[in-house]
Amino acid sequence: MPQVTFLPHEKFCPDGLTVEAAPGTSILELAHDHHIEIESACGGVCACTTCHCIVRKGFDSVEEADELEEDMLDKAWGLEAQSRLACQVKVGDQDLTIEIPKYSLNHAAEAPH
């Protein structure tokens, strides 16, 4: 089973975390299942950028972003070539390393899950 490593993030995952993940699981779902409370103001339906993440390892193994996700990403703070929305990235058959950016554009943070 592939492993997903979340790099340390001061607020959401201070020590970092590596977990096994079933293929097809979204990065957002995986994070929330392991108490990494990445923001998701839209509820994970690709309607905001609060779950913006950067796929530092394994980027080529995930499905390409569709046009809607690309349009949303254009609004994300700190956009990089390997930026994705955690609600849209699904674990494939290779290990991934995920960085949660320091900032997100969230006008109203939702309650923890």
In a 10 Å sphere around its CB, with 0-12 CB exposed, 13-18 middle and 19+ buried, how is residue 46 labelled?
middle
Do 51 and 86 meet the contact criterion of CB atoms below 8 Å apart?
yes
Question: Can you tell me whether residue 84 is helix, strand or coil?
Answer: strand
Q: Per-domain residue ranges for the chain?
A: 3-99
CATH number of the domain located at residue range(s) 3-99 in this protein: 3.10.20.30
pLDDT digits (tens, 9 = 90+) for 81-105: 999 999 999 999 999 999 999 876 6
Provide the whole-model pTM.
0.89
**pLDDT tens for each residue of 9-35:** 999 999 999 999 999 999 999 999 999
